[in-house]
Structures are given as C-alpha cells and as structure tokens.
Amino acid sequence: MSFEKLVYFYKRKLGNWNLLHSFLTGWWKGFLLLSAFLIVALCAGIYFLPKEWLFGMIALFFILVIFFFYLMIYRTARKWIRMHYQLRNFKEILMLREYLFYAYLAQNGFETRDDLEKLKMFIISEGSSCSERRRPFLAPMLQVFIAALLAIMCGSFFFQLETILAKVITGGAIILSAVCIYWLLNGLMRLLAFSKSKRSRNAEELIRQIIRIQTALLVQENTTYHPYITMEKKVRENDFLTEMIFTKSFI
C-alpha cells in the first residue's frame, strides 16, 4: 500500500492538474464550450456549404482551436505560474516538481543519497511481479503455435493444387496471412504489456526522478552550488506548496 501512496503523491499531487490546471477550471470550461461551438459550426459548414470549401473550413477550425487554446489556456497558465509560483516559464515547473518530491521524501526520512538508494531498492521490489517476468515468453509461444497451425491447415490443401500459378498465389496468400497475424499478435502483446506493466512503469519513473535528486545532492556535496535553494525559497513562501510537503506520510 505504501508504494501506491507514493505513486499517488507523485502522479496526482505533483501532476500538472493539481499544480496548475485545477486553478484554471473556469478557463478550461470556457475553452471546451467554445470548442464545442466550433465543432457545431464546422459540421454545419460541411453540410450547407459547397464541398470546395471543405479543406479551408477544416484548416480554419484547427487554426481557431489552437489560437483560443493559446489565448485562454497557455497564456493564462503562464500568467498563473508567474504570479503564484514566481516561475518564469513552464520548464521551471519540472524543477519545482523535483524539489517538492525531494522535500516530501526528506520529510518522511529519505534525506540523504544513501536513504534514497534504500528507497530505490524498495521501489524496485514493489514495482515488479512474477506475472510480468513471465509475460515475455507468451508472445513467442503464440507465434510458434500460429505458425504450426497455419502449416497444418494449409499444407495439405497447398499440395493438392495442380497448376504452378495457383500454388504461387496460394503460397503468397499464406505468407501474407502469417505476416498479418504476426503483426496483429505482436500489437496485441504490446497492448497487454502496456496495460499490465503500469506498476513497473510507475516504478521506473520514480526511480528516474530519485536518480535526478541523488545527482543534485551529489553536486551540492562537492561544490558550492545548491540546485534547490531557489525552489526552496519559493515553496516556503507558498502555503499551498508547503502544505503539500507536509501531507500524510506514505509509509
């Protein structure tokens, strides 16, 4: 359960929606309403106007959507982070998120690089499962089974053909079918792997972030440069961010 709480904090509490877009719900509602109006206008234009105007209407639709997104969401969000987080651009959001994650871990007992190394081992052990380790063998087994099934079903029929042309066409169709089935199974396996390995992907993302923090701490130990000092000051002056760090422990 502790691993899930840690993932929840990193993915939800430190997500863009919680840090930024949740404060812009009114602008998002306005943008979505305006987008719906543009979709209705596009459908009406396609139905009533000549077909020669189709490309122009679609191009105008995408131009207007992008323009209103920049005007209502992007520019508003940039103004928000300047006013409330004292950040110059969206790239600094990444540094802010990194510091918030480190401050949260330090608050819960993982302050040094050695402590974070122990946390990495914990995440690795919690982020994998036996079923995921067995899954890579599933796709080759299915591929061999399909190949054998095609050979059994098509072999006898293939050799009963009399003309060379019929054999060539049939053989090409069998090979094309095998290739299509292979790619279909391969795509299915990738889809299953993507859905079932969400826990592993979350663990890998957490580990990458912890490695970044360890690197920053190593730089701080060996030089006079303090990578988090600016973000620490900004967070200290923001009640919302400060409260986030002192949220309930994931342990």
pLDDT class of 5 with cuts at 50, 70, 90: confident
- Give the 3-state DSSP-derived string for the chain, with helices as H, strands as E and coil as C: CHHHHHHHHHHHHCCHHHHCHHHHHHHHHHHHHHHHHHHHHHHHHHHHCCHHHHHHHHHHHHHHHHHHHHHHHHHHHHHHHHHHCCCCCCHHHHHHHHHHHHHHHHHCCCCCHHHHHHHHHHHHHHCCCHHHHHHHHHHHHHHHHHHHHHHHHHHHHHHCCCCHHHHHHHHHHHHHHHHHHHHHHHHHHHHHHHHHCHHHHHHHHHHHHHHHHHHHHHHHHHCCCCCCHHHHHHHHCCHHHHHHHCCCCCC
Percent of the chain past pLDDT 70, that is, above it, reads 79
The reported pTM is: 0.67
Least confident of 100-109, 173-182, 233-242: 173-182
Mean pLDDT of 205-215: 92
For residue range 69-127, list pLDDT tens digits in order.
Answer: 999 999 999 998 998 888 888 888 989 999 999 999 998 889 899 999 999 998 988 87
Supply the mean pLDDT for the chain: 81
